[in-house]
């Protein structure tokens, strides 16, 4: 195995570096000593001039013996490294020998003194200049020689040290490293390492090799045990998945009977006590299904099998539908429910509509559950609005019990709630927020919370969606018919008038808002007198001083030339509000919040003098029944057979029953079937195999018979259904009306069934 920085190279580098530094230091020391010696020799010569020549020159100068002076100066000049000798009197050079041609010199200067009768007389000054170049040249030669000899010696010694270290340590460490690189957890092949020695030596390397060999054996054993444990864990996990799938089917199947029969009971004539009992059964069934779905979702998250299904959807519609779904649960606790939607909210975006709805419903249900007084608020606001991407923040606020600060970090943990009494007092599994957090994370956001105990909680997250230009399916072509129509909005709450004003203005209607209901009749009369009367008037039911019914009574008695259509709105509707509006002649009653499309449709219906029909879901008729409808029901559960038959009897008198897939195929061969309702898991032959057989038996020239799977399925079952030719999957438990609508959508026009 090759290393970027092998140990041998590092050893060689550091040995050479340390040896070179030591050699350099020794050379510098020698250089310094030699330099000091040479400089001392020069100082000795100058001292010799002072002690030997200076007295003679002083005497000759006193006696004016120029010849003797010259002899002495010549003598000084002949000394080694002497460049120049000068004798000055009164700053005038009297004698000079030599020339100063060097850049590196040392100067010696002495006064010439003579003792005459005890008096010191100054006769002049002697200057001697010595040359230092020879000194430096000798030092350079010595330094070069020393570096060469010391360097050669250092390299030789370094390589000897390196060789010894490599032989005794380095090569063995390399072998250990190569052996470790060859050891693989995939093959678990033990490479028994041995030192390349003539005889065994009890030292650190031998101990290291023995321990390494033992370590390989232990790792092999541990990995084999770990592999066995992993296989067991995977088997257990598979059993858990199968168990959850079976639980899903086995629990949802009987729950479908409870759910279906409850809906059918509610469509019959019941007294108040019976109605109350059935409602309790229905709510309990819904609660149990919610708990089961939470556990199944959590199991998907644990197995990392939860998938996000991105598709185009109408976000404002989703918000309104979610609010409508949650509103009864909030209002039954006498709470105020407020929905604030950003007017800049785009209609069509791409994301996982189902998972987003699941998160919002869970957060809103939690808010309603933990709030006893006050209100719950759902806010949707646009943070960024681009051509391709948009960021939208979703917030749920409540004025409930709040969460202690020290519990904020654990509320998103699975099976954890703020305290142990929460489950006893409010119910729940402790999975809801954990699932929400994982879903938001899967969609690319982070679920956060701010809360103050006893004041309320604030849950929020921001998601990025792709903007799509696909035209909205629900936008009617007759929308322009609302353009230019005049509307008056009467509500004492300014926020409500602003929201309604923004909605109606987006349909190009001419809007006027009034927050003082007493001024409404005056405004209506003025516009009527100007022949610019209002086409529609929205009036809030509950207002101080004067309520919506009283405002309508004033309008009815105002003798207007053009009578506007009056729509009464309320965020806290009562059961008899619609009947009361009908009795008084009010054109429509709308419970807020509601779907924008519903408000639009009500306006269009009123515009064309076609009052919206209140549909009685218990009464279903068959239109264009030119031929008898035949439905094949393949279901092994007797309870579910009874539920399905009770639902289908209102639209079909010819219902064929099969207890398994094999019986279903036999009935398919003998009868002309219009549609097949198929359970997926049955004895003898399941729904998947039966669907494959039916598709093989069908003639290629005839349109395939619609097959609807009615089962408690998971995502893998849903995909499998589509693969075997099943048209659509209806998950148990189902609402009877939803089943009938699905059946209707797959029937030819002359056999369609509609609600009346």
What secondary structure letter does DSSP report for 218? H
Report the chain's C-alpha Rg in angstroms.
Answer: 52
pLDDT above 60: residue 415: no
pLDDT above 70: residue 2: no
What number is the average pLDDT over the span 737-749? 83
Identify the three-state secondary structure at position 640: helix
Compute φ and ψ for 377, nearest 5 degrees: -130, 135
What local confidence, expressed as pLDDT, does residue 397 receive?
94
pTM of this structure? 0.46
Q: Give the DSSP H/E element, type plus range, for residue 121.
A: strand 119-131
Lowest mean pLDDT among 89-103, 128-142, 170-184, 364-378: 170-184
Distance (Å, whole) CA 371 – CA 421:
15
- For the chain, give the mean pLDDT: 81
Contact, 640 vs 257, CB < 8 A? yes
- Work out the pLDDT band at 396, boundaries 50, 70, 90: very high
Omega before residue 593 within 30° of 0, cis? yes
Distance (Å, whole) CA 408 – CA 501:
39
Distance (Å, whole) CA 345 – CA 376:
21
CA 160 to chain CA centroid, nearest Å: 60
pLDDT above 70: residue 617: no
What local confidence, expressed as pLDDT, does residue 693 receive?
94
Query: Can you list the domains of the chain with their CATH numbers?
Result: 7-141 (3.30.450.220), 311-467 (3.30.565.10), 479-607 (3.40.50.2300), 620-755 (3.40.50.2300)
Residue 344 Cα distances to 384, 390, 486, 491, 506, angstroms? 10, 11, 23, 23, 10
Contact, 157 vs 19, CB < 8 A? yes
Residue pLDDT, tens place only, 229-278: 988 888 887 777 667 656 666 676 677 777 777 877 877 777 877 887 88
Residue pLDDT, tens place only, 121-173: 888 888 998 888 888 888 888 878 887 887 888 888 888 888 888 777 777 77
Lowest mean pLDDT among 371-375, 454-458, 478-482, 706-710: 478-482
Neighbours of 657 (CB within 10 A): 16
Contact, 141 vs 2, CB < 8 A? no
Omega before residue 200 within 30° of 0, cis? no
pLDDT above 70: residue 285: yes
Strands 536-540 and 486-490: parallel
Residue pLDDT, tens place only, 168-194: 777 777 777 777 776 665 566 666 767
Residue pLDDT, tens place only, 444-484: 999 999 988 888 999 999 999 998 865 544 433 434 468 88
What local confidence, expressed as pLDDT, does residue 724 receive?
92
pLDDT above 50: residue 625: no
Read off the tokens for 106: 């040392």
CA 506 to chain CA centroid, nearest Å: 35
What local confidence, expressed as pLDDT, does residue 464 receive?
94
Identify the three-state secondary structure at position 655: strand
Give the whole-number percent of the chain exceeding pLDDT 70: 85
């Amino acid at each position: 195995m090759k290393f970027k920085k092998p140990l041998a190279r590092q050893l060689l580098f550091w040995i050479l570096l340390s040896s070179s530094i030591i050699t350099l230091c020794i050379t510098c020391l020698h250089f310094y000593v030699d330099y000091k010696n040479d400089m001392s020799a020069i100082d000795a010569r100058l001292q010799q001039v002072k002690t030997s020549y200076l007295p003679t020159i002083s005497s000759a100068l006193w006696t004016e013996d120029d010849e003797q002076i010259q002899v002495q100066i010549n003598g000084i000049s002949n000394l080694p490294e002497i460049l120049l000798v000068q004798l000055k009197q009164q700053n005038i050079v009297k004698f000079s020998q030599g020339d100063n041609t060097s850049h590196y010199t040392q100067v010696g200067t002495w006064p010439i003194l003579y003792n005459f009768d005890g008096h010191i007389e100054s006769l002049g000054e002697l200057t001697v200049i010595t040359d230092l170049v020879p000194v430096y040249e000798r030092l350079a030669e010595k330094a070069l020689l020393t570096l060469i000899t010391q360097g050669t010696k250092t390299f030789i010694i370094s390589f000897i040290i390196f060789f010894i270290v490599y032989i005794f340590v380095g090569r063995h460490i390399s072998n250990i490293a190569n052996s470790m690189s060859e050891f693989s957890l995939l093959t678990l092949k033990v490479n028994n390492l041995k030192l390349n020695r003539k005889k065994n030596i009890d030292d650190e390397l031998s101990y290291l090799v023995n321990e390494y060999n033992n370590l390989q054996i232990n790792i092999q054993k541990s990995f084999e045990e770990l592999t066995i444990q992993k296989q067991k864990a995977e088997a257990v996990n598979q059993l858990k998945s199968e168990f959850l799938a079976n639980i899903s089917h086995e629990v949802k199947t009987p729950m479908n009977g409870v759910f279906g029969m409850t809906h059918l009971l509610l469509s019959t004539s019941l007294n108040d006590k019976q109605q109350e009992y059935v409602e309790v059964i229905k709510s309990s069934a819904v609660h149990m299904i919610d708990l089961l779905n939470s556990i199944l979702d959590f199991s998907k998250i644990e197995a990392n099998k939860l998938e996000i299904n991105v598709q185009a959807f109408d976000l404002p519609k989703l918000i309104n539908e979610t609010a409508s779904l949650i509103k009864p649960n909030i209002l039954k606790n006498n709470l105020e429910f407020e929905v604030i939607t950003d007017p800049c909210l785009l209609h069509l975006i791409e994301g996982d509509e189902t998972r987003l709805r699941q998160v919002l419903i869970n957060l809103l249900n939690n808010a309603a559950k933990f709030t006893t007084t006050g209100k719950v608020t759902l806010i949707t606001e646009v943070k960024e609005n681009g051509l391709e991407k948009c960021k939208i923040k979703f917030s749920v606020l409540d004025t409930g019990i709040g969460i202690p600060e020290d519990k904020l970090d654990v509320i998103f943990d699975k099976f954890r709630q703020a305290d142990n009494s929460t489950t006893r007092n409010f119910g729940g599994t402790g999975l809801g927020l954990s699932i929400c957090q994982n879903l938001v994370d899967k969609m690319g956001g982070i679920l956060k919370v701010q809360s103050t105990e006893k004041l309320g909680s604030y849950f929020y997250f921001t998601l990025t969606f792709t903007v799509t230009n696909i035209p909205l399916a629900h936008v009617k072509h007759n929308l322009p018919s609302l353009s230019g129509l005049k509307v008056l909005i009467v509500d004492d709450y300014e926020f409500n008038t602003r929201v309604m004003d923004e909605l109606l203005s987006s349909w190009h209607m001419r809007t006027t808002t009034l927050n003082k209901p007493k001024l409404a009749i005056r405004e209506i009369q003025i516009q009527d007198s100007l022949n610019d009367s209002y086409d529609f008037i929205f009036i809030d039911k509950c207002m101080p001083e004067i309520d919506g019914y009283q405002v309508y009574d004033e309008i009815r008695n105002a003798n207007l030339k053009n009578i506007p259509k009056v729509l009464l709105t309320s965020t806290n509707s009562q059961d008899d509000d619609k009947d009361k509006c009908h009795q008084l002649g009010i054109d429509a009653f709308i419970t807020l919040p509601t779907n924008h499309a519903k408000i639009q449709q009500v306006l269009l219906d009123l515009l064309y003098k076609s009052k919206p029909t209140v549909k009685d879901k218990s009464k279903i008729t068959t239109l264009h029944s030119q031929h008898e409808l035949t439905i094949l029901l393949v279901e092994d559960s007797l309870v579910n057979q009874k539920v399905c038959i009770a639902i289908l009897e209102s639209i079909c008198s010819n219902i064929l029953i099969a207890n398994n897939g094999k019986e279903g195929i036999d009935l398919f061969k003998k009868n002309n079937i219009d549609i097949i309702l198929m359970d997926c898991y049955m004895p003898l032959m399941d729904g998947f195999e039966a669907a494959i057989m039916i598709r093989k038996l069908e003639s290629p020239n005839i349109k395939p018979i619609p097959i609807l799977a009615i089962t408690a399925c998971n995502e893998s079952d849903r995909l499998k259904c589509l693969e075997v030719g099943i048209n659509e999957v209806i998950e148990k438990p189902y609402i009877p009306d939803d089943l009938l609508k699905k059946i209707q959508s797959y029937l030819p026009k002359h056999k369609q069934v509609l609600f009346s």
